[in-house]
Homo-oligomer: A and B are copies of this chain.
Amino acid sequence: MPAAAVVQSERTYRNFMPPRPPAALYDVNQGQAKCPTRKPQDHSLSEGLDQEAMRQFEDLVTERIRLRTGQTLFRSGERFTSLYWIRSGSFKSVSLLQAGYEQVAGYHMQGEIIGADGIGDDSHRCEATALEDSEVCSLPFERVEALSRQNSGFQRNLHRLLSHEIGRARSVAMLLGTMHADQRLGAFLLDLSRRYQARGYSSCEFVLRMTRAEIASYLGLTLETVSRSFSRFQREGLLQVERRLVKLLDRSSLKRLVDCCD
C-alpha cells in the first residue's frame, strides 16, 4: 500500500540507450508515412489471415508515429480513435481512474497493441508513455471494425486480442492480491524474460526500461521495497543486477519462489 503511487513522467532515462537520431525525425504525428507490416512472432491481428485479408490489413495500417523517450502517445480522457501497434521501443501505460490514484497498469513492447481500454467509452482510460525512443502505427478503429465485419479471421484475432487484455489485467490483479513483494518482483522479471525471449532477445540478460519507482507502482510496492528485493535476490544468487541491467542466474529458483504459494 504505497502512498498514492507517485510516478514521474516526461523524464528521460537515457542510460543504456542508443545514440539519438536527429531531432527532426522525432516529431509526434509526423505524417502519413506508410507503415510496413512485418510478421515476426506476430500473435496478433494479422496472424493466420488469408492473402486478401492481409492486403486489407496492410491498407488499414496507415500512420506511423515516432516518439522519443518520455513522450506521450495518448492521455487519459482523450478521445479514442485508434489502437496503436508498437513497431519498436516500449511503453508504459498509467491508469488514472480516480483523482489522486495512479498506477502503472502495464509495460508494452514491440509487436503489442495498446489502447483497447479506450473503446468502451470512446475515450482513453490511461496514459501511454514511451520508455525509450519508439515507433508505433495507428490502427484507426473504425477501419478495424470495418475489416472485422468483412473477415471473420480478422474478427477472431481482434476478439482474441481484447480477451487477452482482460486476462493480462486479471493476472496483474492476482499478483497484487495474493503475492508477497519478492514473488511479485520475481513474477515480473520472469514475465519480462519470457517476452524478450519471444522477440528473439536474450531471456537471461536484459535492460529494464523503467525506474524502480515505475516497477514499484506496477507491483503495488514502494521503490525501496523493490530495491531491497533486488538486493536480496542478488545476495541469494538468483540474479545479478546493476542499476537497469539484469542477469537471471537461477531461473528455476525464481520460478519456485513465484509458484510456491507460501
The residues of A with any CB-CB pair to B shorter than 8 Å are: 1-5, 95, 97-103, 105, 116-121, 125-126, 145, 148-150, 152, 155-156, 159-167, 169-174, 176-180, 217-220, 258-262
| Candidates B101, B163, B176; contact of A261 at CB < 8 Å | B101
A105-B173, A170-B95, A220-B177 are known contacts. Are A155 and B163 too (CB-CB below 8 A)? Answer: no
Task: Using CB atoms, name the residue of chain B closest to A158.
Answer: B159
- Residues of B within 8 Å of A95, CB to CB, are 170, 173-174
Q: How many copies, total?
A: 2
Shortest distance from the beta carbon of A80 to any chain B beta carbon, whole Å: 9
Q: Given contacts A117-B170, A162-B163, could you give 16 more A-B pairs where the C-beta distance is less than 8 Å?
A: A97-B174, A99-B259, A103-B178, A105-B174, A117-B166, A120-B167, A145-B152, A149-B155, A159-B162, A166-B166, A169-B170, A169-B172, A170-B172, A176-B177, A177-B217, A177-B219
Listed from nearest, the 4 A-B pairs whose CB atoms lie closest are A177-B220, A169-B169, A120-B163, A119-B163
Instruction: Indicate if the CB atoms of A101 and B178 lie closer than 8 Å.
Output: yes
The answer to whether residues A116 and B166 also contact, given A176-B176, A176-B177 and a CB cut-off of 8 A, is yes
Inter-subunit contact B170/A119 (CB<8 Å): no
- Complex contacts, A162 vs chain B, CB 8 Å: 116, 119, 159, 162-163, 166
Question: Do B261 and A3 touch across chains, with their CB atoms under 8 A apart?
Answer: yes
Which single residue of chain B is at the shortest CB-CB distance from A96?
A: B174
Ordered by A's residue number, 29 sampled pairs between the chains whose C-beta atoms are within 8 Å are: A3-B261, A4-B261, A95-B173, A95-B174, A97-B170, A97-B171, A101-B178, A101-B261, A102-B178, A103-B174, A103-B178, A105-B170, A105-B174, A116-B163, A117-B170, A119-B159, A119-B160, A119-B163, A126-B170, A145-B155, A148-B149, A149-B149, A149-B150, A149-B155, A162-B163, A169-B169, A169-B170, A172-B173, A176-B176
